[in-house]
Structure 1
Amino acid sequence: MKTRLLIKYMMLIIASVAASAQERIERTPAFPGAEGWGRYVTGGRGGKVLHVTNLRDSGYGSLRWACEQTGPRIVVFDISGTIYLQSDLKITNGNLTIAGQTAPGDGICVADYPVTFACPNIIARYMRFRPGNRMAETEGDGFEPDGLGAVDSRLIIVDHCSISWSVDECCSIYGNRFTTVQWCIISQSLRYGGHSKKTHGYGAMMGGEGASYHHNLLVHHDSRCPRLGERPATGARDTTDFRCNVMYNWSGQGCYGAENMNANIVNNYYKPGPGTIASRAVGYQRRICGVGVNEQEGHEDVPRVGTPVCRRKCQPPPPGRRRRQLGPGHMAADFRYLSQQSRKIQPRREPHAPQRADEILPRDNPLRSRRLQPCARPCRSVTVARLP
């Protein structure tokens, strides 16, 4: 009897060790330094290696040819320079790693047309995206390219990329599931690039179900710096983590939106520039986020301008402590109120307030760390905080 119990006990130990080893293998980060909701994207891991050997738009050895292949694949570059596209580069076959750091010399730049991720499981690193408006005369009206885009997809991580010179937004990676944009420069959108709205020059659209944006530089934009917005595919499930970013010289609205979203806005640095000071009042220079820009009367899913910072019991603060009600549609949040609440909330490390993005993943989600516990009472809120 004792022998049987000992054997069963040893078998349980072996099974437990094997399961733990398998979990560690499955949870290998996309690359060293990958963080956020998209840190476990596999990309083309374990697949074939494809070499980009020329700067042509298409054909064997081109970037487009490598992206059009199927199956897991890792794209490396044997050449450096600028790839002038002749049409949109819409990537529809997933399980792809684009390793821009393998290019010699000054690296790789993709120009003239936008690049779009329209499939799941993509890793893109050390690339430059510069669509510009050089092809506006050729394409005619309606040519309003983003720099880099991905919507209604999943499992994407963009790392150490430079995205500039867009006619619409530079970076439109939102409405996806489990994505990260980290250590990127999102800069210099074209204010007079030929957009149908005349002056444009917008920075980024950000949001999604499990979306992380951290350590990015958003600089020299007219507005949407960034715009926190949801898509129908993710909607009320949006859980966006926007932290440790730098915003400089926004001319229009700066950071705003977040309607119908759960968002963390933590430890970001806002520095008004010449365009900010010249074009906007003091309130636009100092605010953290203009919440509820598209709010409508009687729409219960959209947070009010006075929606409080998420607290322990998800209850509004006393009436005297609410943010100023500045009238319907006014895109401003009281900087002083948010700063006071940040000092109260952040040092205490409230168990209810999510400190890391994966803390609010569903319990049965394989991407959630077992060491962390999710929020027991989910609330629709925007948490705004600054680390001490």
Structure 2
Amino acid sequence: MLAIMSLAGCATAQTTTASTAPATFETATPAAPWMGPLGPASTTVGGKGGQIVKVTNLDSAGPGSLREALQAEGPKIIVFEVGGIIDLDGDNLHVATSNITIAGQTAPSPGITLIKGGMVITGDDVIVQHLRIRPGDLGEAYRSGRDIDAITTISARNVIVDHCSLSWATDENLSASGPRFTGDTPDEWRDGTSHTIAYTNNIIAEGLSHSTHAKGEHSKGSLIHDNVSDILIYGNLYAHNFERSPLFKGGVHGAIVNNFIYNPGQRGVHYNLQGLEWGDVPAETGRMDLVGNVMRAGPSTSDGLPLLMIGGDGALDLHMAGNIAQDQWGSALPDAGSYTSNSASELNEAGPSKIITDLPILAAGQVESYVLKHAGARPWDRDAVDVRILADTAEGRGEIIDSQEQVGGYPELDATYRDFDPSQWHLDTMEPATQDALDSGLKAKGT
């Protein structure tokens, strides 16, 4: 039970006592890349049963490109007969139709990396797996106004982003968004924005700080926009983001479970309903399960940072259990604190929500090892950027950055090719049917 649940008017961190998480894995955990969807979005079917659409080149647009594959009509499973870098040159990919699976696991080594752009999902029933997306600053000036999310949803439902590596965004690395108010009632607001989402087993890292965003500093992990509901954020690595690891805005209903948050800046997890944005609309109470997470401070972390901070003008119903928060030397950090003096901002103790019912939950002491082993695109075939981020996280190194040039710049990789063999894959789930499905990708034919 949380010993202190009301932080109204408190400008300094307060410590709460958290109970043990309600469930744990057995010693032998499932094979994480093929665990299957979790939470409210587990009924998402993506492109199951649809046509196979092949990506055959690394062009930003045109025949054989990923952009053209996304525009094919009807349900579809997008597979890759090419591996390497897709340079979007500032032109985001739009996932605007429904019933799509983007199966990055099918690409030959080194897999698919998108640079200089992001992905905007507005369709429903979408599954995105095993892609790397690294927007970067495109060499443009500080505060030039180019604001790119690696992946964001806008008024989308039934979306799974799983085992992706998302870094160097100039807005958020991974977000869920839409209009704040659609219709007249809270239920209509929730239906009109993104909902029923699972963000699982991703690397969400190195959001660019003093870069091209019009507002200036903008190293952000995940923004979950006002009134988004039924969202699960599970098993992810958040590393080197100044804020929003993640941020739930006003009225969000969601769960944050078994994530590893390393080297946050001035905030880790936070909740904020901004009254200036809501105007005369009565504040909605948010709902958060914060269970079995680990936050470990790093070189860029503010001293004494609590795991959870609340700000703004709204209350949060909180179920908090089994988390660990530590400074760089292993000493405990506070569970919760406030960055507002507003008496409307308060934490209220709540029981577990339906989002985490039957969810496999690791004890916090297992989370760091699990996430470092399994998170991100293609854990069997990681690229140099992910290897560096994971190694720095394991060793307590690294920092928040302003440009991808500080850490080696955009990757350069030769194209590789391999024919897609449907017999090597379970087409209903896009799990490999044989080990050769992965091994042969590591032996792909180059140019």
Q: Contact 2:253–2:288 at 8 Å: present in 1 too?
A: yes
Q: In the aligned structure 2, how far is the partner of 1:176 from the partner of 1:54?
A: 32
The residue number in structure 1 matching 2:156 is 153
Deviation at 1:218, TM superposition (A): 0.2
Match of 1:357 among 355, 358, 373: 355
2:162 maps to 1:143: no
Q: In the aligned structure 1, how far is the partner of 2:318 from the partner of 2:96?
A: 41
2:263 maps to 1:249: yes
The residue number in structure 2 matching 1:281 is 303
Letter in 2 for 1:183: N
Match of 2:76 among 73, 76, 91: 73
2:61 maps to 1:58: yes
The residue number in structure 2 matching 1:346 is none
TM-score by length of 2: 0.58
Deviation at 1:288, TM superposition (A): 2.2
Deviation at 1:333, TM superposition (A): 9.1
The residue number in structure 2 matching 1:290 is 309
Alpha-carbon displacement from aligned partner over 1:36-88 (angstroms, at most 9, x marks no partner): 12111011110100010000011111000000112100000001001011412
The residue number in structure 1 matching 2:221 is 203
Match of 1:303 among 315, 329, 339: 315
Deviation at 1:206, TM superposition (A): 2.8
The residue number in structure 1 matching 2:97 is 93
Deviation at 1:104, TM superposition (A): 0.5
Other structure's SS at 1:250 match: coil
Q: Contact 1:288–1:333 at 8 Å: present in 2 too?
A: no
Deviation at 1:106, TM superposition (A): 1.1
2:242 maps to 1:228: no
Unaligned runs of 5+ in 1: 1-30, 231-235, 296-301, 312-322, 342-351, 360-368, 370-384
Other structure's SS at 2:194 match: strand
The residue number in structure 1 matching 2:325 is none
The residue number in structure 2 matching 1:267 is 292
**Highest CA radius of gyration, 1 or 2?**
1
2:205 maps to 1:187: yes
Q: Contact 2:143–2:216 at 8 Å: present in 1 too?
A: no
Unaligned runs of 5+ in 2: 1-33, 178-192, 274-284, 322-335, 367-447
Q: In the aligned structure 2, how far is the partner of 1:134 from the partner of 1:326?
A: 34
Q: In the aligned structure 1, how far is the partner of 2:261 from the partner of 2:167?
A: 15
Describe the shift of the 1:143–1:118 C-alpha distance in structure 2 as closer, same or farther (beyond 3 A): same
2:236 maps to 1:216: yes
The residue number in structure 2 matching 1:378 is none
Q: Contact 1:205–1:224 at 8 Å: present in 2 too?
A: yes
TM-score by length of 1: 0.67
Q: In the aligned structure 2, how far is the partner of 1:135 from the partner of 1:123?
A: 31
Match of 1:107 among 107, 111, 114: 111
Q: In the aligned structure 1, how far is the partner of 2:365 from the partner of 2:123?
A: 36
Q: In the aligned structure 1, how far is the partner of 2:256 from the partner of 2:300?
A: 23
Q: Contact 1:266–1:387 at 8 Å: present in 2 too?
A: no
Q: In the aligned structure 1, how far is the partner of 2:47 from the partner of 2:116?
A: 26
Other structure's SS at 2:173 match: strand
Q: Contact 2:130–2:163 at 8 Å: present in 1 too?
A: yes
Alpha-carbon displacement from aligned partner over 1:126-160 (angstroms, at most 9, x marks no partner): 001111111636x9932111111102210000110
Describe the shift of the 1:125–1:309 C-alpha distance in structure 2 as closer, same or farther (beyond 3 A): closer
Q: In the aligned structure 2, how far is the partner of 1:101 from the partner of 1:227?
A: 29
Alpha-carbon displacement from aligned partner over 1:342-363 (angstroms, at most 9, x marks no partner): xxxxxxxxxx82265165xxxx
Q: CA RMSD in A?
A: 3.2
Deviation at 1:309, TM superposition (A): 5.8
